[in-house]
Amino acid sequence: MSLRIRLIALCWIFCQTAFAVKPPQPKGLISIPYGKNDRIEYHLRSGVFDLIVDAKTVISGAYAEVKNKDAVLNSKDYPTRKHSKTAIRDGFGVGQKHSIVLTRKGFPTLQQIFYVYPDRKFFFAEVLINGNDLKSNYMAPIVAGKADIGVQGDNRSLFVPFDNDAFVSYDSQPVQAGQSTTSSEVAAVYENYTRKGLIIGSVEHLNWKTGILSAGDGQQLTNLKAWGGLSDEKITRDKIPHGFLSGRSIKSPKLFVGFYDDWRDGLEAYGKANRIAENPYVFNWEKPTPFGWNSWGAIKSKISFDKAVNVVDFFADSLSGFRNDNTAYIDLDSFWDNFFSGGLNGDFSKLKEFADYCKKKGLQPGVYWAPFTDWGWKSQKVRRAEGGDYLFSDLWTKAHGKYHDFDGGRALDPTHPGTKQRVAFAIKKLKDCGFKMIKIDFLGHAAIESDGFYDPSVTTGMQAFRQGMEHLIDQLDGQMLVYAAISPNLAMGRYAHTRRIACDAWKTIKDTKYTMNSLTYGWWQTYVYNYIDADHIVFGEESEGANRARLTSGVITGTFITGDDYSVQGPWSSRARQLLQNQPILELAKNGVAFKPVEGNAGNSAAELFVREIKGEWFLAVFNYEDYPKEYIIDLARIGLDGSAVYLTSELFQNTTTTTINTLRTSLAGGDAAIFKLVRK
């Protein structure tokens, strides 16, 4: 073909491409692209929108719904809708804000907003109402009667708890007829084998508690709703409806929405989005991954000055290899007031003596406090709150005229000046002692919906929680590592460096299994916090296998906090000298990033396999929670490796090395765990 003919052919192809008649877009259809090949299609004529991912419809006919007082309003009922868009630049990058303003005579104005980014696999959605004398405790940016994740198989809907209290479990429930799942703050609907899944969750937690409801059968959902205003005693601990927001403009929580080829990638993206959308209020922790000890693991209420000092001596003399950058924390949990009399009003000099002794021995002292609970409420005496002129009875939170008592503690109003004075009083005394770490607990009590708060501008539990936590962090003044125990899963992200992933756990394989349930479905919170934690690692008199499993649960969650009674000698002492100074294990623990599950279909139990790539090396944790031996044949491709490559495989506890290709075969005794390091040859 001559050059002239080739040029003519190229010109013809160009003209056909440039001037081809494109199919007309339906009148009133607004296409809102995001990511590489995804879009929202908003129908101006009907007030509904669809989510299109890779040319397939995932959500159909979705609309927004809100309450103004007792009236229910939704985007389908408004006759006039106008669309506009503006360029935005925020923590998520450069994108566009699409706004649809809906008007109806005699009703507040509705506004649906979508935030989209060309290099993000997700978008954000929210709804507002504007008008006069508005009042709402229910705002749903997304309500849909049809959704389809596009694949049939082991379909799951993930229940995520609001907090980690009362030994609650995550649960990946089968999507089947007659069953619905209401999850807190975030939900995932996915097929386990292919891993394709839809993630919807709130990235804002200052005003609302968010719920996500899903129901259907297999890949098809017949009910999908995400709303601000969740109140359910079994989930949020609330005994009354969600508080109302009021004013001339009220906004829903901002929702993250994304469909992913791997639901695990989606939840990790969601976790990272939370930290961007609501920047931490607490200072950023830039020091190494915390290693240490906590007294609640074994000593509990029997803690004394002498016992605490003996623990310090054990770490200084017998566990000198258990450090991260020459640092380990010795943390006194509840009952440190055994050191002296008078409670918070007492003489803290013995506590300061302990803190000074820790530092003298090259260790960092830690302490504990529950700032928003009253543990002496059963006393019939009229009791004055420490550090102020108020009675405790003035501080108690009420719901339906009754006090909120949970876990043995009575909730205190975080907005009350008496609560704030008490917080300032206690924290100053602890700072003066020289503590470098504080474990704060029972923080869900601060988020309870109330008949009313002392501060009249605060009308929801999350607003009260914010005010209380910001006041607490202000008092700490950047002087301590902040560790949260029982607390909201997501909202706590602004206020803590590290957070316990589950409720209390101690030494048994059952404790390990419970902790690993929370890691199986909540590992992504490693991106919400600087670190997440598996609670104190206790060896006790359990088997070596149970000890390895409990240790592994801590290492792969993110921090390394031990908990045996090292004030006395026992089988745990010699085990600690061996396990807590295993250098390959310590090096892995220093990474501080949680491992992710290989499978997500364990229901309310726990996955057996967890993986993490660290600097080009792969690590695989394997658990056997049963009381009998098990054989494992592990597909390398399934855990994320190249199935055709050859890997040098080392087991870190047994210090054995072999070569692996395609599949890793291993066996574990009942109640045991192993950690493999795989390096491509």
Over range 278-285, report the average pLDDT: 96
For the chain, give every residue range classified as CATH 2.60.40.1180: 597-680
Give the residue among 496, 367, 375, 376 at the shortest CA–CA distance from 429. 367
Topology annotation, domain 282-499: TIM Barrel (3.20.20)
**Order of strands, sheet of 437-440, starting from the edge strand that comes earlier in the sequence:** 531-533, 498-500, 481-484, 437-440, 364-369, 329-331, 291-294, 560-562
Q: Give me the torsion for CA of 65, 69, 71, 75, rounded to 10°.
A: -30
CATH of 597-680, one of 3.40.50.1820, 3.30.479.30, 1.10.3130.10, 2.60.40.1180: 2.60.40.1180
Burial label for 665, CB within 10 Å (0-12, 13-18, 19+), is: exposed
Q: Quote the CA–CA distance of 552 and 288 in Å, as a whole number.
A: 19
Q: How far apart are CA 299 and CA 360, in angstroms?
A: 23
Confidence at residue 35, expressed as pLDDT on a 0 to 100 scale: 97
Q: In sequence order, what are the residues at sequence separation of 6 or more whose Cβ sits closer than 8 angstroms to the Cβ of residue 2?
A: none
Domain with CATH 3.20.20.70 in the chain: 282-499
Average pLDDT for 490-504: 98
Is 30-277 CATH 2.70.98.10?
Answer: yes
Supply the pLDDT for residue 380: 79
For residue 329, CA distances in Å to 333, 435, 554, 566 come to: 12, 10, 15, 14
Question: Which residues of the chain does CATH 2.70.98.10 include?
Answer: 30-277
Q: Which two tokens stand for residue 619?
A: 């690590």
- Whether 1 has a pLDDT exceeding 70, the answer reads no
Mean pLDDT of the chain: 95
pLDDT at residue 18 tops 90: no
pTM recorded for the entire structure: 0.94
Q: Using CA atoms, how far apart are residues 369 and 488, in angstroms rounded to an integer?
A: 17
* pLDDT tens digits along 592-617: 999 999 999 999 999 999 999 999 99
- Region of 512 please: left (phi>0), alpha (psi -120 to 50) or beta: alpha
What's the average model confidence in pLDDT over 105-109? 96
Q: Is the pLDDT of residue 405 over 60?
A: yes
Return the pLDDT at 97. Answer: 98
CB distance 469 to 419 below 8 Å:
no
